[in-house]
Structure 1
């Protein structure tokens, strides 16, 4: 049986017939706290009632009272249920205030030592597998009271120390007893044979350890105990599986929520981009409208200038036409003058030739005047 399963732990260390090995086990844990060695214990009811009627009941794994009238509560946690420090404080407070429920005085309150054996890592910032805590003054580090004491034992760190050859179970009683708890790891389906052989060899000279081995083997081989252990182990594993399933579902839900948040953020960003683009397009459209209006005004101005140029051009055409008409008229006049001058010159030549007694036919051929015109000139001369 894996002794880190609470049922197996209780059957071995919470049994009246095994009281002697429980005392040795507790002394191994408390040996460095300065307390007197425990010589005898009595087992107490592990039920812790709630403060009010509707409060849930709690059950401690192991609760003993020493001959020095000190309470020792041992909790073994196979599965990480989280908030372990707060759970330990809660169990301590319920154990500490138990006498008050019977109407006893404050002076009759007993010291309570809480021992937590954990099958997981709790304090990731520390390498030590065994840590203890008390109430101290912040500056002088003086202890306020011995009424409160907490121990946390992290089995994963213990096994790591063993693998690194940093444990000496021959000279450390605590190491040998904790290695006994860590020797079987049901979750990994593993038995550490090297630990077994070493402890088996130590047990040849350690009567308490040898007795514990025998009781452990007897407990593991008893069919009724085995069935109850298997039932409890199945319950633990089912709880772990349900918890893991819940964690996976929560992770999936968180992932979906994150994805939805991311999508919503993307939508918001895109919406912002669309709004910005829309605003930009609106501004560009307004700019285009203004440019279009400006172009329209320029176009109108150009039309007006074109019209003005057209009118000027028409005016120039009319002036040119007028000048051409005047030029034509002048040319006609010039032509008439030239014709008259030519006619006068011909007639002058004709007169001269007539005076010289030339024939009319010769004169007509020479001047190009008609015979009638020459005859008229002749008559006019006579």
Structure 2
């Protein structure tokens, strides 16, 4: 049985990085992420939900949204599944945070504060170079000179991080190693080197969870595992559909085209339908048990309207 929580679940990720009472963990991680660029001494958590300005517009709910002592904003997201427009979603999230800065009154003169988006991805991002960390800035295409430092994207493809404990050379790499392997540990490494991991070990120990928090975590881990099962099933269905189409259209052409088309269609349809059904089933069960609507929305990713209609 695992001793520590799975940080890739919604509840696990927010327990580590989303609690004001333990904000030193997020501060330490951000400083290691941006080492040599800036030094954050304090952060303030902001409202994770930005309501739309007009009826019919789309609101935004962040995993973690905070600002530092200089007014710079940080959006930290954990994503376990790829989306068709994942890059555009990241751009929309950061753009909303930029645009909201214009609400500070008539005397505001576009003196923007920087917005950083840090996206943990527990999958391989399609059409990417396949490296662990990708930093995106606004720069001149020819000279690479930075045009503006007010918008920054940092994408972390966790499957691309393959270092072992003795291969981690920086504190940032140690953070990633611990997060990626946390559920397999009986004790956290690097505690003698970095005291923050001593604090982290206390927070992520499953035995330290209250009864209520343990119920939320158990539900969250079920949603996470259901997602993995649905994804595996969708991949298999896509493969079988591709093979059937391939045999019908001809072995040579079918294997090349049928598998690719079948997998894409099967994965997309199976994943979307299966995930939504599981999320609705989990939400219905939590609602029956009396969970608050906001907690159900946090764990399942459903909107309050969808939950209220169950």
- 1:125 deviates by 5.7
Tell me the SS of whatever aligns to 2:119: strand
- 1:142 deviates by 0.7
- Inter-partner Cα distance in structure 1 for 2:234 and 2:50: 28
1:220 and 1:56, CA in 2 relative to 1: closer, same or farther beyond 3 A? farther
Structure 1: gaps of 5 or more residues:
186-190, 266-382
Which residue, 222, 236, 255 being the options, matches 1:234? 222
1:124 and 1:175, CA in 2 relative to 1: closer, same or farther beyond 3 A? farther
2:148 counterpart of 1:153 = no
Aligned match of 1:210: 198
- 1:12 deviates by 2.0
- 1:57 deviates by 3.5
Tell me the SS of whatever aligns to 2:110: helix
2:15 counterpart of 1:11 = yes
Which residue, 19, 26, 35 being the options, matches 1:22? 26
Contact 1:203 1:210 (C-alpha < 8 Å) held by counterparts: yes
Tell me the SS of whatever aligns to 1:176: helix
- 1:214 deviates by 1.4
Aligned match of 2:79: 77
- Inter-partner Cα distance in structure 2 for 1:250 and 1:56: 32
2:129 counterpart of 1:131 = no
What do residues 259-292 of structure 1 show as CA deviations (whole Å, max 9, x unaligned)? 66669x9xxxxxxxxxxxxxxxxxxxxxxxxxxx
- Inter-partner Cα distance in structure 1 for 2:105 and 2:19: 30
Tell me the SS of whatever aligns to 1:64: strand
Aligned match of 1:120: 123
Which residue, 48, 51, 55 being the options, matches 2:50? 48
Contact 2:124 2:130 (C-alpha < 8 Å) held by counterparts: no
- Inter-partner Cα distance in structure 1 for 2:96 and 2:247: 44
Which residue, 169, 178, 181 being the options, matches 2:179? 181
- 1:30 deviates by 1.2
1:125 and 1:45, CA in 2 relative to 1: closer, same or farther beyond 3 A? closer
- Inter-partner Cα distance in structure 2 for 1:209 and 1:242: 34
1:220 and 1:124, CA in 2 relative to 1: closer, same or farther beyond 3 A? farther
1:95 and 1:240, CA in 2 relative to 1: closer, same or farther beyond 3 A? farther
Structure 2: gaps of 5 or more residues:
254-310
Contact 1:5 1:77 (C-alpha < 8 Å) held by counterparts: no
2:35 counterpart of 1:31 = yes
- Inter-partner Cα distance in structure 2 for 1:219 and 1:100: 45
Q: Which moved more, 1:11-20 or 1:75-84?
A: 75-84
1:223 and 1:79, CA in 2 relative to 1: closer, same or farther beyond 3 A? farther
Contact 2:44 2:68 (C-alpha < 8 Å) held by counterparts: yes
Q: Give the TM-score, by structure 1 length.
A: 0.57
Counterparts of 1:88-127 in structure 2, within 5 Å, are 88-100=90-102, 105=108, 107-122=110-125, 126=129
Higher relative contact order (CA 8 A, sep 6+): 2
Contact 1:6 1:77 (C-alpha < 8 Å) held by counterparts: no
What do residues 296-332 of structure 1 show as CA deviations (whole Å, max 9, x unaligned)? xxxxxxxxxxxxxxxxxxxxxxxxxxxxxxxxxxxxx
Q: How much is the aligned-residue C-alpha RMSD, in angstroms?
A: 3.1
What do residues 236-265 of structure 1 show as CA deviations (whole Å, max 9, x unaligned)? 3334444555565566666666666669x9
- Inter-partner Cα distance in structure 2 for 1:55 and 1:220: 41
1:65 and 1:174, CA in 2 relative to 1: closer, same or farther beyond 3 A? same
What do residues 110-156 of structure 1 show as CA deviations (whole Å, max 9, x unaligned)? 21100011112226764642221101111221100011111111222
Contact 1:135 1:143 (C-alpha < 8 Å) held by counterparts: yes
- Inter-partner Cα distance in structure 1 for 2:219 and 2:143: 51
Tell me the SS of whatever aligns to 2:224: helix
- Inter-partner Cα distance in structure 2 for 1:219 and 1:107: 49
Tell me the SS of whatever aligns to 1:177: helix
Tell me the SS of whatever aligns to 1:10: helix
